[in-house]
């Protein structure tokens, strides 16, 4: 198995020769994953594009690590020469989510960045137009953030249609049936 990963290991070595702080993991055949710091991302990505053959930006995605108070941006790159998929993972502070735009390297990065900006609230420095993409007049929290309460939003925004008034709460039904009175305690003592 290991013998088949020669290509991947070589890329890992090359990346580490240029950028010592990049944490490169060979996930499996044809797939590597790189953790990198946000500060010099454009330099790193342009190195991958110009010198390592990762000429295609497949997409950019974002993960909300609420518990760590961080966002994770994942840049998916593809090398046609080596047939290798590289995932570049960047962690950003959730309260001050800012990173340089890659629109100068790939024009189509613009759309992905615009969407991430809209859905998570990440600010892309140098982006030509971070305006509304899908949502219109959105003033709430960016909706893909995990602390956005979809349920409350739905209940507030959409009208309850008639004919559903007979809905019952399971817990209340059970306690009523057995004459159980659920006490209410103050959260703060």
Partner 1 sequence: MSIKGTLLPFSALKFLGKKPHTVRYPYQKKKTAERYRGFHYNDIEECIGCGTCATICQNEAIDMIQIEGIEAKKGDSGLRPRVDNGRCCWCGLCVEMCPTGSLSLTDQYLHTSSDPESYLLVPGVDHPEFAEHLSFVKDDEVRLLDLARVPMKELDPQERVKSFAEVVVGYMQEEARREATRCIDCGICVTACPDHMHIPEYIGAIADADDELALKYIYDNNPMPEMCGKVCTRQCETVCAIGHLGEPIAIRWLKRYATEQFPDPAAVLNPTIAPANGKKVGIVGAGPAGLSAGYYLALRGFDVTIYEALPKAGGMTFAGIPKYRFPMDSLDKQIGYMEKIGVKIKYNTRVGKDITFQEIRKNNDATFIGIGFHVPYKLGISGEDLQNSIQAIEFLRTINLGGNVYVGKKAVVIGGGNVAIDAARVARRLGAEVTILYRRRVQDMPADWEEIEAAEDEGVEIIPQGIPLEIIGEDGKVKAVKYGMAEMVPDPRGGRPRPKLIEGNEHIMETDTIIGAIGQEADYSFLPEDLKEELKIERGRVVVNEFKQTSIPDVFAGGDNVNRTMDAISAIADGVKAVEGITHYLMDE
Interface with partner 1 by CB under 8 A: which residues?
150-151, 154-155, 158, 161, 163-164, 166-171, 173-175, 177-180, 182-183, 185, 187, 189
CA distances from 38 to 2, 19, 45, 115, 166 (A): 31, 13, 11, 19, 53
Residue 129 to residue 146: CA distance in whole angstroms: 25
17/160 with CB nearer partner 1: 160
20/164 with CB nearer partner 1: 164
CB of 189 to partner 1, least distance (A): 7
1/167 with CB nearer partner 1: 167
17/168 with CB nearer partner 1: 168
Question: In a 10 Å sphere around its CB, with 0-12 CB exposed, 13-18 middle and 19+ buried, how is residue 54 labelled?
Answer: buried
What phi and psi values does residue 27 have, to the nearest 5 degrees? -75, -50
CB of 176 to partner 1, least distance (A): 10
Residue 62 to residue 75: CA distance in whole angstroms: 9
CB of 63 to partner 1, least distance (A): 18
């Amino acid at each position: 198995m290991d013998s088949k990963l020669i290509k991947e290991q070589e890329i890992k070595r090359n990346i580490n020769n240029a950028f010592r702080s990049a944490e490169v993991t060979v996930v499996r055949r044809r797939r590597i994953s790189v953790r990198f710091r946000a500060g010099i991302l454009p330099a790193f990505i342009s190195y991958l594009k110009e010198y390592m053959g990762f000429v295609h930006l497949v997409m950019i995605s974002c993960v909300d690590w609420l518990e760590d108070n961080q966002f994770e941006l994942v840049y998916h790159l593809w090398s046609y020469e080596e047939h290798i998929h590289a995932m570049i993972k960047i962690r950003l502070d959730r309260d001050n989510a800012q990173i340089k735009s890659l629109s100068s390297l790939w024009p189509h990065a613009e759309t992905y960045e615009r969407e991430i900006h809209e859905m998570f609230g990440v600010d892309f420095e140098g982006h030509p137009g971070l305006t509304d993409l899908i949502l219109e007049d959105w003033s709430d929290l960016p909706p893909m953030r995990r602390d956005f309460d979809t349920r409350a939003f739905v209940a507030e925004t959409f009208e309850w249609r008639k004919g559903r008034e007979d809905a019952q709460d399971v817990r209340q039904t059970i306690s009523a049936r057995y004459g159980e009175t659920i006490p209410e305690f103050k959260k703060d003592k």
